[in-house]
Amino acid sequence: MYFILDLVVFLCLVAISYGAFWISWFVTRRRLFKRITGIPEVQNLGDGRPRDERIKGTAVVCGGSIAGLLAARVCHDFFENVLIIEPEEWLSSEDATRRFSWEQSNKRTRIMQYYSLHGLQAFCYSGLLKLFPDLEEQCRYSGITVPPAEANVTLAGTYLRRPPIYDKDFPKTMEASRAGFETLIRRLVLGRGHYDDIKQIIGTVSGIVPSPDDRSRISKVLVRKDTSNSSTVLHEIDASLVVDCTGLSRAGFKWLSKAGYGTAETYPEGKRALTDLKISLDQKLHYCTLICDVPPSVLKALPLPSNTEENKRSNYAIIEDKPTEANGRRMFTIQRLDGPHVMLFVGQYTDASNVDYPSIAAVRSLLPHLITHTPIPEWVFRCVDMLEEAQVNVKYSHVRIPPTSYIRYHQGVNIPCNFVASGDSVMSVDPLFGQGSTKAMLGAILLHTALAKTGCSEKIPANFSEFYFKEHFYKMDRFWQATRSVAYGLPFTTPIPGEKLGVSGFTPWYSRKVRFLAIEDEDASIALWNSGMGFGTPVDIFHPLIFLKTLWKVVSDRMN
């Protein structure tokens, strides 16, 4: 009798504990979902002010790449005028908005990744759809396919289970090269005459001028322009808002410093001087990308998933589970791109400086040596062999990824109220996660949210920049933490000064175990897919059911 009573009490306690765990997980996730994912706000993209109520003056967007083009598109819905300032001369020519990027005769000189591996998270695609409702049609026009965003990422060769909840309406992504993606966005923003109030001029922004009667505001930007007789002239351009989208050159940081912003007599808790805002780490990552120009008959014959099954995404990615002393940590990807192109990619985190896979033969000879849990599928080998046999033309790019950096503007003081920054100018992360374009999209979403809150049409409110960077921290800090956590698990990373390498504690161990669970478990695969495609929150993998299943798997694996 007492035994039964004890059992009932025990079961009640278990049920109450599980319920309490579930409720706290649910409440936390709901809060994070609203605050950090950008998913609720993405629906508002494309809404703006009627033309006669737009904010007076010009939103000046410095840098005309991914973040700059998206920021300009958003500013168009709120400002009388939008001006993109971009240094690369050819970006004002027709070549920059060409229908097929592979027919361009120019190459981006300031974008080292123009011919590198490029993947687009489905979240970014969903934001683009709101900004450009005819996106899918425009992709097709530019030779870009838009398949379901199956991740097809493997854990050392073993596929994670396909997330089932999206079977009917799987979110989409683009199979585009970086050149194809950037050129498409530029064509949509600048090349079709849809957004007449957005203009672009060629020049390099070299500084900012504080407003003479209110130093908390920038009144002008300084633009350096080369003239035909190889002299340089400096122009001053009035700015209602300055958006720094200068990518890795992080020019805004320098303009603020030169103009005397970012310092104070005393710093409130959690705030610091401009010079102390930047942190960097170097994960010593090499990117070797081969873009193969494939004749139509060979392309059709390749055993790519999209050739053998309808509506399939043609990509396969493997990353080794753990680094080794000899080879660091390596990864390989094959991916269909826009037009008649297939990309082969080898990446390597390593201390070695001689990483080089300049030919299909070099990539092919690496494949059998990758350390896998499950063999690489036969179709991958067959594709690589066929590309080699056909002696296709190859465009090779090797990039040593520069140290990834984060300017923690949210901790800054005395930042002008009409200055914001988006994309890599604030934070660059490990490119392997494919989050760069998502960050640029989230920057555009934040800008939209901040501008939509602005009641006045005369000028940007005094708390604009502070609000923007605070929200930027909430939405973007997780990307930096993920980059840091992966990098600190690699023995050759140069850490942030003052920090030590090594990831200890429960979360890294648990995350790896969830990846093993996701090979067979639907719930875990959904959580990982959401996180890989930009739809998740950091607590998704801690769903009580996933948590219990993971622990159960660990115990049962040990017992077997």
Ligand X SMILES: Cc1cc2nc3c(=O)[nH]c(=O)nc-3n(C[C@H](O)[C@H](O)[C@H](O)COP(=O)(O)OP(=O)(O)OC[C@H]3O[C@@H](n4cnc5c(N)ncnc54)[C@H](O)[C@@H]3O)c2cc1C
* The one among 111, 273, 482, 503 contacting ligand X by CB under 6 A: 111
Confirm or reject binding of residue 343 to ligand X (CB under 6 A).
Answer: no
Tell me whether residue 81 or residue 550 sits nearer to ligand X (CB atom). Answer: 81
Confirm or reject binding of residue 65 to ligand X (CB under 6 A).
Answer: yes
* The one among 42, 55, 60, 62 contacting ligand X by CB under 6 A: 62
Nearest partner of 350 among 295, 397, 286, judged by Cα: 286
* The one among 38, 57, 328, 431 contacting ligand X by CB under 6 A: 431
Nearest partner of 289 among 404, 401, 378, judged by Cα: 401
In this structure, what token pair is assigned to residue 85?
């300032």
Closest approach of ligand X to the CB of residue 66, in Å: 4
Confirm or reject binding of residue 117 to ligand X (CB under 6 A).
Answer: yes
Tell me whether residue 205 or residue 386 sits nearer to ligand X (CB atom). Answer: 205
Closest approach of ligand X to the CB of residue 178, in Å: 6
Tell me whether residue 116 or residue 550 sits nearer to ligand X (CB atom). Answer: 116
Closest approach of ligand X to the CB of residue 481, in Å: 17
∠ CA 283-285-289, rounded to 5°: 160
* The one among 163, 207, 328, 434 contacting ligand X by CB under 6 A: 434
Closest approach of ligand X to the CB of residue 391, in Å: 27
| Residue that is written with structure tokens 């361009």 in the block | 104
∠ CA 435-119-295, rounded to 5°: 165
Closest approach of ligand X to the CB of residue 203, in Å: 7
Contacts of 531 (CB under 8 A, 6+ apart): 538, 540, 541
Nearest partner of 304 among 286, 289, 319, 292, judged by Cα: 292
Q: Which stretch binds ligand X (CB under 6 A): 159-167, 341-349, 433-441, 535-543?
A: 433-441
Distance CA 414, CA 372 (A): 51
Closest approach of ligand X to the CB of residue 14, in Å: 44
* The one among 32, 201, 248, 554 contacting ligand X by CB under 6 A: 248
Closest approach of ligand X to the CB of residue 63, in Å: 3
Strand partners, 158: 155
Per the CB < 8 A criterion, the answer to whether 168 and 162 are in contact is no
* The one among 37, 101, 116, 154 contacting ligand X by CB under 6 A: 116
Confirm or reject binding of residue 127 to ligand X (CB under 6 A).
Answer: no
Per CB under 6 A, contacts with ligand X among 68-87 are 68, 85-87
Q: Which stretch binds ligand X (CB under 6 A): 56-64, 298-306, 446-454, 473-481?
A: 56-64
201-230 mask for ligand X (x: CB under 6 A)?
---xx-------------------------
| Residue that is written with structure tokens 């300084």 in the block | 222
Tell me whether residue 155 or residue 243 sits nearer to ligand X (CB atom). Answer: 243
Strand partners, 284: none
* The one among 145, 246, 449, 511 contacting ligand X by CB under 6 A: 246
Confirm or reject binding of residue 119 to ligand X (CB under 6 A).
Answer: yes
Distance CA 131, CA 377 (A): 38
Distance CA 533, CA 165 (A): 14
State the first-to-last Cα distance of the chain, in angstroms, to the nearest integer: 36
Contacts of 349 (CB under 8 A, 6+ apart): 283, 284, 285, 286, 323, 328, 329, 490, 492, 493
Tell me whether residue 298 or residue 444 sits nearer to ligand X (CB atom). Answer: 444
Burial 395-422 (b: 16+ CB within 10 A, else e): bbbbbebebbbbbbbbbbbebbbbbbbb
Tell me whether residue 57 or residue 87 sits nearer to ligand X (CB atom). Answer: 87
Tell me whether residue 143 or residue 247 sits nearer to ligand X (CB atom). Answer: 247
Distance CA 298, CA 300 (A): 5
Per CB under 6 A, contacts with ligand X among 407-426 are 423-425
* The one among 131, 281, 401, 417 contacting ligand X by CB under 6 A: 401
Distance CA 130, CA 142 (A): 19
Is beta strand 278-281 parallel, antiparallel or unpaired with respect to 241-244?
Answer: unpaired
Burial 484-511 (b: 16+ CB within 10 A, else e): bebbbbbebbebbeeeeeeeeeeeeebb
Strand partners, 348: 286, 330
Confirm or reject binding of residue 355 to ligand X (CB under 6 A).
Answer: no
Tell me whether residue 363 or residue 399 sits nearer to ligand X (CB atom). Answer: 399
Tell me whether residue 157 or residue 423 sits nearer to ligand X (CB atom). Answer: 423
Closest approach of ligand X to the CB of residue 274, in Å: 17
The site for ligand X, by CB under 6 A, has a size of: 40
Closest approach of ligand X to the CB of residue 296, in Å: 26
DSSP state of 51: G
Per CB under 6 A, contacts with ligand X among 163-182 are none
Tell me whether residue 430 or residue 523 sits nearer to ligand X (CB atom). Answer: 430
Nearest partner of 432 among 296, 356, 329, judged by Cα: 329
Distance CA 473, CA 270 (A): 13
Confirm or reject binding of residue 532 to ligand X (CB under 6 A).
Answer: no
Strand partners, 204: 224
Distance CA 534, CA 528 (A): 10
Q: Which stretch binds ligand X (CB under 6 A): 116-124, 191-199, 353-361, 386-394?
A: 116-124
Residues found near ligand X in the complex (CB under 6 A): 62-68, 85-88, 110-113, 116-119, 204-205, 245-249, 251, 287, 399, 401, 423-425, 431, 434-437, 439-440
